[in-house]
Amino acid sequence: MRLHRNPLRVRGGMVVAIVITLMVIFISYIILQGTMTVGRLLQAVTHQNPDSIFEIDSYLVWSPKCQIPNVNPFHESIRRFIVGAESIICSKKPPLSNTLTHDDKVFLKIDADSILNYTSDPNHLSCCYSVVTRVNTPDWKIYNKTADNYYNVSECLDFNQKVYLSSEKEYVLVKCKDKSNNKEVYKNMHAVVQVKQEVKDKIEKVGTNDKTRLNILVLGLDSISRLNLLRTMPKTVAHLRRKGWLELQGYNKVGENTLPNLSAIFMGLNEEQLKDACWKTRHKKFDNCPLIWNNFSDLSYVTAYLEDTPTQSTFNFHKTGFVKPPTDFYMRPMMLAAEQLLPVKSRDFLNVCLGPTPTTEHILKYMTDFATVFKRALYFLVAWINNFSHNDSATPATMDKRILQFFEQLEDTGALNSTLVIFLSDHGMRWGSIRSTSVGWLEERLPFIYFWIPEWFRNAYPDSYANFITNKNRLTSPYDVHMTLRDVFQRSIQGNSSKIVKGCTGCPKCVSLFSEVPTERSCEDAGITPNWCTCTKYRIIPTKGKIVTQIANFVVSEINSKIYNLSNGTNVCAELAFHKVIQLKRQAASYHDDYIIVFETLPGAAVFEATVGKQGKKQDELTFQLKGGISRINRYTNQTECIDDAELKLFCFCA
């Protein structure tokens, strides 16, 4: 008897077999990529969030020397800290003034459609503008620590509807009043990208960009971890991924705050090397520091440095800053004037509105204008934004749409055809409730970073681009970003060997991201000290016992030594005493004696964290060694008003 097969059953079996085969291939691919596992795939299908901080078999980086867990951004342990934020609204009225570029000329104009929002009769409106300029310390005068803070405001010149701004007028203050009652109804500031004569001369030396060299554009958002970017800016992240931006998921910070992390990127130096090279004390200027944009400037790149909060900016917070402008375009005088001359709105101790304009808007608009004006030139632009992210992990959500819009506008300028764009942060949130959690510990150390690489560069250097993709799930650090900038510089030299700059002092083993980062890489290899390293697993141990007290007393002694040295032996700050241990963790590997201790001191209830290694015994007493610096992980706003030293503020309780 011949058995006949049911054709429908056969086809159905084939379909099932094909589906299963495709699923196996897909899941295998994901596992090999190291970014999603079967557990995460099931999570995505069932919309369930696991409660474990370490998702099963899921790591951002996996090697014998480094395992960085891939944590759920909405992990159960931190959900109570994830809150919404109110939108930033600076004015309910449309702006009355704006700038317009026509035939390479810049005009300041009044928006006729907005006038009736400010006065009942257009004939009653009277406007004038002043020019804000930087005041440099004369060459013959010894500078002081406020040399970077001087600006001048010219007399206010009347204008009707529109006025031409000559090339020396970069920053303007606009004031309007209602003549019927002589009341001021509007005040705002505008930053204009002007092609100054010295910039024209620089451009003429190199000619127009022939697409053989990359521009550099860096946009930094302070204090946003990779996980917090996923939580608060999902639209921006989705856009970057859809467009093909490259993310480094194993990017680990190297310093406490902004300065050491940016020094690593732009100078290739750690904190001690920075002090030895050019900044021996906080009263010294940064003018002589080896900032890499100076090397690009020597190749006739147009340079710019923008930062939004002048009192807390990277090179000025309890520091001298720059005596001379560090770049061709330097926005500091405008931001100083805006904070002091315009009405401001603050949130979490930061000015989010300067007059009717969001603080961030000044930076983002300037960047797109800059990319437009210099689209046929070579440039190196760095912009750093603090106001909506530095003090609150929730507020970035209010800027998600605007940051997305910025990247869309940047693409419209054509900048992405010729520019290496780096979008990054320096670290995650360094204090507060979320910081005290295990997820928060990781977040502080793992900021976000994305790169845009132009298509022509990908095609011209396919091996370099392939290496960059490979490095996505390798351990990386700011020193690797520095080496990448050096790589771009070397490619731009075009045979001029006299300009070659070699190596990275802060991390001799670090490499350009266009080269393959070694698979088996340790934190030490990447220039990351043990206290910031996320590669190592620790387990929580009891906070009772003699060794716990000994570790705490050792760290408190180190803190008091710092206080004494930084305050020059004065008693301006109280001596601290150990109060209680909050948490103690020991490195999971049995052959290591490294601990992470979190404890509180008195007076002031300061909470500190330190990584400590047990060295051995001396006269029957255990001896210890700090593995990196000591972190302050709760706020100290009202406790340190008696001093103006940024490092001392971390430890001081004013006596």
Say if residue 290 is preceded by a cis peptide, omega within 30 of 0.
no
Mean pLDDT of the residues in the chain: 89
Compare 43 and 546 and report the one with higher pLDDT. 546
pLDDT in tens, 209-247: 566 799 999 999 999 999 999 999 999 999 999 999 999
Using alpha carbons, select from 241, 243, 261, 242 the residue that is nearest to residue 253. 261
Confidence of residue 558 (pLDDT cuts 50, 70, 90): very high
Percent of the chain with pLDDT over 90: 78
Confidence of residue 495 (pLDDT cuts 50, 70, 90): low
pLDDT for 638 equals: 80
pLDDT for 641 equals: 87
pLDDT in tens, 505-556: 999 999 999 999 999 999 999 999 999 999 988 999 999 888 999 999 999 9
CATH of 538-649 given 3.30.70.270, 3.10.450.10, 3.40.50.720, 3.40.50.150:
3.10.450.10
pLDDT for 50 equals: 33
Residue 362 token pair: 């000044």
CATH class in words for 97-191 = mainly beta
Average pLDDT of the segment spanning 604-609: 95
pLDDT in tens, 616-651: 777 668 899 999 999 999 988 788 889 888 889 999
pLDDT at 39 exceeding the cut of 50: no
Confidence of residue 3 (pLDDT cuts 50, 70, 90): very low
pLDDT for 545 equals: 86
CATH 3.40.720.10 domain extents, the chain: 197-531
Using alpha carbons, select from 274, 637, 634, 300 the residue that is nearest to residue 482. 274
pLDDT for 45 equals: 27
CA distances from 531 to 222, 271, 285, 566, 613 (A): 20, 15, 29, 22, 10
CATH 2.60.40 domain extents, the chain: 97-191
Phi, psi of 220 (to 5 degrees): -115, 135
What gap in Å lies between CA 327 and CA 296, rounded to an integer?
A: 11
Question: Residue holding tokens 């061709």?
Answer: 328
Using alpha carbons, select from 630, 544, 541 the residue that is nearest to residue 586. 541
> Ranked by mean pLDDT, which of 201-205, 464-468, 548-552 comes out on top?
464-468
3-state secondary structure labels for all residues of 339-398? HHHCCEEEECCEEEEECCEEHHHHHHHHHHHHHHHCCCCCEEEEEEECCCCCCCCCHHHH
pLDDT for 590 equals: 65
pLDDT at 409 exceeding the cut of 90: yes
Question: Residue holding tokens 């970035």?
Answer: 396
pLDDT in tens, 430-443: 988 899 899 999 99
pLDDT for 128 equals: 98
3-state secondary structure of 333: helix
Ranking 13-22, 228-237, 444-453, 561-570 by mean pLDDT, the lowest is 13-22
Confidence of residue 27 (pLDDT cuts 50, 70, 90): very low
pLDDT for 591 equals: 65
Using alpha carbons, select from 149, 188, 150 the residue that is nearest to residue 354. 188
Which pTM was predicted?
Answer: 0.89
pLDDT at 32 exceeding the cut of 80: no
pLDDT for 47 equals: 32
CATH 3.10.450.10 domain extents, the chain: 538-649
pLDDT for 110 equals: 97
Percent of the chain with pLDDT over 70: 89
pLDDT at 35 exceeding the cut of 80: no
> Ranked by mean pLDDT, which of 7-11, 168-172, 431-435 comes out on top?
168-172
pLDDT at 38 exceeding the cut of 50: no
Instruction: For domain 197-531, say whether CATH 3.40.720.10 is its number.
Output: yes
Antiparallel, parallel or unpaired: β 125-134 and 157-159: antiparallel
Neighbours of 311 (CB within 10 A): 13
pLDDT at 54 exceeding the cut of 80: no
pLDDT for 102 equals: 87
Positions of E strands within 391-541: 419-424, 449-452, 538-541
pLDDT for 655 equals: 86
